[in-house]
Structures are given as structure tokens and as C-alpha cells.
Structure 1
Amino acid sequence: MAFDAFRQRLGAIIGGFDAAQSHRRMRGFRASRAHVNTLIAASGETITARARWLVRNNGYAANAVDAFANHVVGDGIKPSSKISDATKKEELQKLWLAWTDEADAEGLTDFFGLQRRAAREVFLAGEVFLRIRSRRVEDGLTVPMQLQMLPSEMLPLDLTRQMPGSGSIRQGIEFDGIGRRVAYHFLRRHPGDLTDPGLVGETVRVPASEVIHILDPVEAGQLRGVSRFAAAIVKLFTLDLYDDAELERKKTAAMFAMFITSPAPETALEPADEDLEVEPGQVVRLDPGEDVSTPATPDSGSTYEPFQYRTLLQIAAALGVPYGYLTGDTAKGNFSNTRIALVDFRRRISAFQHSVMVYQLCRAVWTRWMDMAVLAGTIDLPSYAADRRQYLACDWLPTKWDWIDPAKDAAAEILQIEAGLKSRTQAIAERGYDAEQVDREIATERQREAELGLDFRRPGSPAQAAGKTGDEDQNAGNGANAKDRSEDEDDGEDREPRPAGDR
């Protein structure tokens, strides 16, 4: 404490950064110097619980999660093996596609559905775990392996202790003496699931080689994830309360009733046991001498929508989701502003796809899946142990972005290919497909069309010109030249002679 007081006095004398001063404007700004792991241990469970509550009960929060997951995964982040043998590559890709339908240990979705659920959990809870489940060959799976998804709550944040020797457990993760993750200590039952008859609080040790921990760390040394809602929870919740209050005020203001006061009857009325509840359009008769007064309910006026808009902009910035995706409101921006927001958002999504989803999830699953496929004899890859790195080489292709004007984007892409600024392989990969597979499909279609006498290619397109023989091209060219000559001869009197090079 003495040192902190000395440092504050020294800062006041030297000056420099206003952000570090303790003057009147910054007196209430007391930032914690605790590491992010300490903060997560103290508040992580509460933040995650509140984020889940908002997604279940707040439309903006639910919309933000869906928008993020849909853009990150789309139809799926798909692999394209780099095996040079085209036959082996096609066999491997077919085997992978067949296995994706069996990937989920719960049987609720396929591998690409697991990707989407993982993206949702990382956005909502900051992290998610996938446990690799090895299966028996007699289970009848294409490759004897499945994935079990475990939410963040299954790994207790308060499980921290020193292990015998040089190891330790920190926030449910076991480390060895040099800081490598060696195991995860999961709860056998979700702490909030009362329908599970499992033992409460009992943990099981799972080797780190069997667990895929997916998170997007924001600080160096961070062990567990933090919800993307952390910076937006307060404003989302209070804005929800504000909207509810406005709705109640409008409801109260809409109440219209008539009160009639008549002379005293011969027999006094019995006093009512309950408070009088007024409904819209109701006519209420009061006893003599009774009166009713209601407080004035002022209208929200012209400030309601601008205030709500600015608050939602802050929430969108905190969540990293464009305003239009958060609210579904497309009337607040023009085409240029919307496109700028989408470009920035999609750059963020692309960074998350490659640094988190591909690096942590897809590569780990692909590596384990390849090993299991070879060990189970499902596929034969010669010298796999010696050339394992070459066999594991793979490109992961996200779903292509959809723009507002796809015709212009396609035309621009064709111009880039023709100018040599990009290749067809790159263009096809950006659409989420494998170029070699697409070329094989096109060749197969061309062959089938030729056998049936069909041609669905656009007249004059490069694809159609490439499908003609040399004689056909020459005849077409001669026909075009003859037509040009005929046109020149028809109106030659009105044309000036052209240089020979223009003919």
C-alpha cells in the first residue's frame, strides 16, 4: 500500500499520461491488476450463465449468436487433401464424406453441424471441448471414431491444486512440470442438469490427447475462454428492462375507462374485498364520494428510437457483429456503408476461421481421423508412417461469402482469372470446393452431354470454345469472316477502306 501511495504521488508530480492519473475525472476508475485467469476463476461461471440466459430470452442476443455461427461455418469448413495421387485422393475424400455423417457421438448432426455448434459455444461461453471417442471395429462405423461435445461448465473452474511431483491442476487442466497440458478433469455430470442421475461433483481424468479444447484467447497465458457477451451483458440486460418499461407505459396509457358517480343509494354498498382492476373500454360505477385519479403517463417522445439505436450500436461493437445482423434492421444504412461493415466483419470471421476453427478443431480431427482410418485398414496409404506429414497435408475450404450483387462479383472474378491475377483453382477454393473434383465433374458432364447431343454452355463462352474441335473452330471462324465480308460488301459504298491489319 505504501508503494502504491508513493507511485501515485510520483505520478501526480511527474504528470505524463492522463490515463494513469488519480485526479477528479479518474478517481472512480479503479482497474484490477489481476491476471485474466484470476478474473475468469472469479467471474467466468456467472458471465457464462448470464450469456446463456440472454440467448434464451433476448432476441438480439440470439440473433448475434446465430449470425456469428452461420458466417463462421456456413455449410461447413471442408477439407481438400493434397495427396498427389488423384485416385487415392478421391478415395480419401469419399471416405471422409461418409464418416462426417457418423461423427457426432450423440447422433444429432454431422461433423459440419458440430463445427457450427462449436462456433456457437465459443461465442457464447468462450470455449468448448470435444472429446475424441475411439470405437470398436465391430461398431460398424466407416472409421472407428466419434466426437462428443462437452460444454464449458463440464470443466470446473475451481479445481486448482498442486500435484505430487512437479505437476499441477489449474482450472481443471492438468499440466506437467514444463507447462504442457497432459489431462483434463471433467465432471461426470453437468452441474446444472438435474435430470442426469450421475454423481454430483465427481470428476474423471481424460488424457489431453483425447480432448480438443477450442477457445479464442484474448490475453497471453490465458487458460480458459471468456464469453463474447462479457462486454455487452450489462447493456443488453438494461436495454431489455428499458424496453419492458416502455411497453408497460404504453399499455397503461392505452387504458381508457369511464367512471360514473351516482347519488347515494338507500342501502350502502358493501366494500370491495379486492382492489378494482380496470380493463380497456370498461364502464365502472363508483360509490358516492369516491373518486379515482391516475398518474399522467407521458409519451416516450422522439428520443426513444435514437437512444435505442445508439445503445444497440454499442452492443453490436461489443459483440463484434454488424448492427444489421444484430437487429435484423436493414433500413439504417445504404449500400456502401453496409458493404464496408460486411467487409470488416468478414475479415474478422476469416481470421477466426483459420486461427481457431481450422487450427484447433479441423486439423486435430483430420489428423486423428487419418491415423484411425489407416490403423483400422479402412484405407491403404503406402508408407503412411514414413510419409505421414505429406499425407496429412490438407487445405480447409470455408463456405464462399454471398454478396448482394453476385452477377457483378462473378464478372469481376472472371476478369481476374483472364488477367492472370488469380487461378481457377484459387477461385474455386474460395467458393469452398476442390478444384480437381470440380474439373472431374465438369469433364463427366461434358462427356454425358456429348453422348446425348446436348450442350448447355452459353454461346460464345470460353467453355464452349474449348469443347470444339479444331475443324469446328476453323469453320466457325471462316463463317464469321464470311459474314463480316458479306456485310462489308453490302454497305461498302458507305464505308472507308480499312487497313489490312483490321480485316
Structure 2
Amino acid sequence: MKLIDRMISSISPSWALKRQVAQKKLEIFNSGYSNHGASGTKKSLAGWNFRGGGPDEDIVDNADVLRQRSRDLYMGGATLATGALKTSRTNVVGTGLKLFPIVDYEYLGLSEEEEKQLKRTIEREFALWADSTDSDACRQHNFYELQQLAFLSQLMSGDCFALLPMKKRKQSVYDLRVRLLEADRCCNPPILNGKNIRGGVEVNEDAEVVAYHFLNRHPLSFYTPGAPLPPPKWNRVLAYGDKTGRKNVIHLMDAERPEQRRGVPILAPVIEALKQLGRYTEAELMAAVVSGMFTVFVKSDSPENPVGSGLSQEETLPGLDNNLQMGNGAIVGLAPGEDISTANPGRPNTAFDGFVTAILRQVGAALEIPYELLVKSFTSSYSASRAALLEAWKMFRMRRIWFAADFCQPVYEEWFAEAVAKGRIYAPGFFDDPLIRKAYTRAEWIGPSSGQLDPLKEAQAAKMRVEEGFSTRSRETAEITGGDFEMNVQQRIREEKMRREGGLLDGLPTGGGETKYVVLDPQQD
């Protein structure tokens, strides 16, 4: 016991006991994170203003501001924000993820030839629907363009919604339509009726999403003369049909917390950094313009006289242009009492590029886009540039798989069900067993390839992966060129046949695993 504790104990034992208890509590509390990130006594953390909440408080209550600021950055508030979103859109979706059916023919009891014919039928029928703007409820985009729009909207706004109505149209074989809705349309109705609704998403006591509430118009739309807005009305759409269990609403959202109802724009963590960087860039650009124009200020002791005219106010001729401009070798006379001073902002700023680069590296880390890809500048070595691309493609591939599973596959399964119901595709047992349904609708969605810094090295690596059994020719063909290996083989057979029939080449394999081509004599059979 310390001396001061003994002194207190001799004077007031009860006070000393309370002091001992308090010290023991402090020893218990000051352990683990309380000495580090959770410390409330360290000077570096004492001034940290923090307040946490649930997903609804932290995300839903701030979603409207985040969405509008993110869109403002995309529309011109920061050019790099536009580039970041479009870079992700182009690499993840590109011109659209293409369907590659993978029918489980062994489980379905089909032969290889039957499986091949079924795949071709599926691809042909799906192209009939997907390549047409009839797949869009608004009749503006085909299915692949809808993919681009839905993915970009999800990145920009945090989430995007898609309805799957059935609507008949003339000269349209299929009735399935995709109706995209922007994130703002899903919002709380004025009367909740005791339901658990936040951000327009209704859940039950088990936190299961049961319905979505959509406004009949965009909440940020303005009144325009001659085209008055309809009165606000909310429509409650069940997440799944009561009788059929059909998925009515596709909610594209990149969740980051359990029980999260609404998404967060991808730019949310870097909104402040991008906005300040945009302001700094504009200031530097204006300073460079001023410096390049060699601006001169004329100081005058006689404000009643026009600057540099040498004339009094009464002697100024009407209609005479008295504005002074810099010219090549020009000599301008100044009036008595006038002097000049030059404006030299000292631009361009030599520290500008280094500072911007440092900020963009942090922004790129938050967006999972390496700096080289963010600014489209590959000035490093081949190994460094390839490492940056590989790191970026981890994120692109992850988002592609997520987007295909949450958007493309559900739409494809709904289309497949309609095609079977209408007899366009023969699939026995499709509606009887979910496992049979899954066997028919298995598919991969192929997107743009990662690109090649050195095509020769990439091709050799792909060949080695196939030969060692790490990959397949179909997968490598799809990832490198985005093509179809089976169709490539068939096309090659036709081409080689045409060349042989034309008397150009004879591709007969010889020893050593190589193929030697011999020029034929036109008279030879």
C-alpha cells in the first residue's frame, strides 16, 4: 500500500476502501483495447468525436445525402470519380455478360449430342429475347445494355432495383420484361401502419425482406409547365409471390453489414477527398491560366480618369473601346499617376503532381482500383503493371460473379421458365423438381477479358495451364478473347476444309506433335 493510501486509511477507513475499489475497477477496465483503440485518456484519441448506430441509423438515414453527393461527383464534381465508376463498369460488365449454358446432362440423362443441341437451342432462344429492346419494360435497351445501366446505377447510388413484369407485345415471342428503378424510388410511405419499414424496405420479425415500397415517380423530380407531376402514390410490391414464390424484385446491393437494408455508394468513403481534390485542381488550373495570360494590373491615383486613356472622363468618346489588352510588342501610354503591377501566381506548381498522386493512391486503395489503372498510366515496369492489373481483376472478378448471381442469373431463370412453359424449349420435369430446374438453368456469364500487356506471355501461360490440367480450353478462350471454344473449333474445321479444297494447304499432322503445311499441286487429287 502506498504512503498516501496508508494516511487516508488512518484518517478515514471508508474513504480508503472506496479508493481501493476504484483502483481495482480501473485496473480491470484499462485492459485490452482500452489501452489502445478504445482508450479515452490518450491525447491522440481524447478529441475523437464518434457515434455508432445500427445499419439503419448509419446507412439508411444518410443514404439520400450520399446518393446525391456521389452523383454530383460523377456528373462533374470530380473527373476521377467519373473515371473510377466507368472503369469498374467497363471491366466488370463491358458490353454485357454473355450467357454460356452449362446443362448438367449427366443428371438429366442426356447424351453429349443431346446436351450440345439443347445448349444451342437455349443460346438461340435467349438471343431472340436478350438482343431485342423488348426485354426492357421501357423499350429503350436490350438486356446487355440493361446490365451496364443497372451496374453503373448500383455503383453510383448504392443500390438499384429491377422488377420482372410480364407484358405482351406485338411480334414479341416472350412476355418477360425488366424494369429498372433508381434507388430513390424505394422510400418510406407516409403511413407505416405499424410495419417495420426503413428506406422503403419492409421486413418481418425475423429480419426477412417481405416487400418493397416504390413511389410512382422520382422523389427529386420537379414540376414542369405542361407536364404536371402525378400525385405521390406508393406501391407495395411483395419480394416473392404468395402463390408461386416467384421473385418479383431484384435488389442489387453490395452489403457490408448484417441486417443491412439499403446499399452505400461506392464513392461514399472518399467523397470528401475527391471533392477537396477537385477544388484544389480547379484552383491550380485557374492559377496556371492567370500565369499563362501574364495579367497586368494598372494602379491609378486618379480614379475619375479611365485607366490608360490619357483622357479625362469628359474627353472619352462614345462608342470607343477603352479596354486595354496585352499585345505582341505593344506600347501603351499611361496617364499621369498610373503605374502597373504584374500578377505572377508562380504556376505550374511543381508539388501539384506529387500531392495529387499521393491522394489518388489512397482513393484507389479505398475503391480497390490501383493507382495505375485509376489514372490509366502504366509507366512502371512490366511486372509492376501486371501486378496492378491482377490486383484490380480480383475485385472486378468478384463483382462480376456477384452481379451475375444477383441480376443475370435470376432474370435468366425467369426467362427459361417462360420458354419452357411456352414450349420453345423442351425440358421434361422442369416444373416438378427444383433439382431438375437447377440442372437445366446452370450457366456461366462471360464478360470482357482482363487484357494483355504481353500477348505472347499470356498465350504461353494459358497453354501451360491447359496442358497441366489447371484450366480448360473453353475457360481460357472465354477469358482471353471472350469467345466460345466449341464454335472456334467448328469454324477452324470449316476454314481448313476450305483451304484444302481450294488447293492451298494440307494440314496433315506429322511426327513430333507439330503440324506441317504442304503446298499442293493444283492437278493433285
TM-score, structure 2 as length reference: 0.76
Is it true that 1:425 corresponds to 2:474 in the alignment? Answer: yes
Task: Identify the residue that residue 218 of structure 1 maps to in structure 2.
Answer: 256
1:1-400 map, 5 Å? 13-14=30-31, 16=33, 17-22=35-40, 23-57=42-76, 58-83=78-103, 84=105, 85-102=115-132, 103-136=135-168, 139-156=170-187, 158-159=188-189, 163=193, 168-194=196-222, 197-208=228-239, 209-253=247-291, 254-257=293-296, 268-269=312-313, 279-281=325-327, 286-291=334-339, 293=341, 297-299=345-347, 301-331=349-379, 333-354=380-401, 356-386=402-432, 387-400=436-449
Answer with 69-78 or 299-308: which moved more. 299-308
C-alpha distance 313-221 of structure 1, shift in aligned 2 (>3 A): same
**Matched letter for residue 82 of structure 2:** A
Residues 189 and 414 (structure 1), Cα distance of their counterparts in 2 relative to 1, 3 Å cut:
same
Indicate if the aligned counterparts of 2:299 and 2:338 stay in contact, CA closer than 8 A: no
Provide the rounded CA distance (Å) in 2 between the counterparts of 1:277 and 1:51.
43
1:398-417 → structure 2 map (5 Å cutoff): 398-417=447-466
State how far apart, in whole Å, the 2-side matches of 1:463 and 1:125 are. 55
The one-letter code sitting in structure 2 at the alignment partner of 1:174 is: E
Identity %: 25
Secondary structure class of the residue paired with 2:149: helix
Compared with structure 1, are the counterparts of its residues 461 and 226 closer, same or farther at alpha carbon in structure 2 (3 Å cutoff)? farther
Unaligned regions of 5+ residues in structure 2, if any?
1-22, 106-114, 240-246, 317-321, 519-525
1:185–1:206 CA contact under 8 A, matched in 2: yes
More deviation in 117-126 or 450-459? 450-459
> For 1:456 and 1:191, how far apart are their aligned partners in 2?
69
Unpaired segments ≥5 residues, structure 1: 1-5, 469-503
SS at match of 1:314: helix
Q: Which amino acid aligns with 1:108?
A: Q
What is the Cα-based RMSD across aligned positions, in Å?
3.7
Conserved? CA contact 1:128–1:213, under 8 Å: yes
Q: Distance in 2 between matches of 1:18 and 1:260?
A: 60
Q: How many residues align?
A: 455
| Residue 88 of structure 1, CA deviation | 1.9
Task: Indicate conservation of the 8 Å contact 1:143/1:378, yes or no.
Answer: no
Q: Residue type matched to 1:150 in 2?
A: L
Give a deviation string over 1:144-169, Cα, whole Å, max 9, x none.
Answer: 1121211111112x5587556xx532
Counterpart CA distance in 2 for 1:318 and 1:124 is 15
1:40-99 Cα offsets, whole Å, 9 max, x none, are 222211111111111111321111111100110123222222233221221111111121
Counterpart code for 1:223: R
Deviation track 1:27-51 (CA, whole Å, cap 9, x = no partner) reads 2222221123212222211111111
Structure 2 CA distance for aligned equivalents of residues 266 and 74 of structure 1: 65
Aligned residues of 1:457 and 1:463 also touching (Cα < 8 A): no
| 1: CA distance, partners of 2:30 / 2:446 | 57
TM-score, L = length of structure 1: 0.79
Letter in 2 for 1:188: N
What secondary structure, in the 3-state scheme, does the structure 1 residue paired with 2:197 have? strand
8 Å CA contact retained: 1:79, 1:397: yes
Question: Which deviates further from its counterpart, 297-306 or 97-106?
Answer: 297-306
Shift of 1:407: 1.8
Which amino acid in structure 2 is aligned with residue 311 of structure 1? I
Counterparts of 1:458 and 1:193, CA distance in 2 = 69
The alpha carbon displacement at 1:422 in A equals: 3.0
Matched position secondary structure for 1:244:
helix
How many Å separate the matches in 1 of 2:503 and 2:425? 39
**Structure 2: distance between partners of 1:121 and 1:458:** 54
Q: 1:359 to 1:421 in 2, by over 3 A?
A: closer
For residues 172-191 of structure 1, give each alpha carbon's deviation from its aligned partner in whole angstroms, at most 9, with x where no partner exists.
11224433323211111112
C-alpha change, 1:74 and 1:295, in structure 2 (3 Å) is closer
1:101 Cα deviation after fit = 1.6
1:191 partner SS = coil
The 1-side partners of 2:511 and 2:60 are apart by 62
Query: What's the offset of the Cα at 1:351?
Result: 1.2
Measured after TM superposition, the shift of residue 446 of structure 1 is 4.4
What is the rounded CA distance, in whole Å, between the counterparts of 1:466 and 1:423 in structure 2?
A: 25
Asked if 1 retains the 8 angstrom alpha-carbon contact of 2:74 and 2:82, the reply is: yes
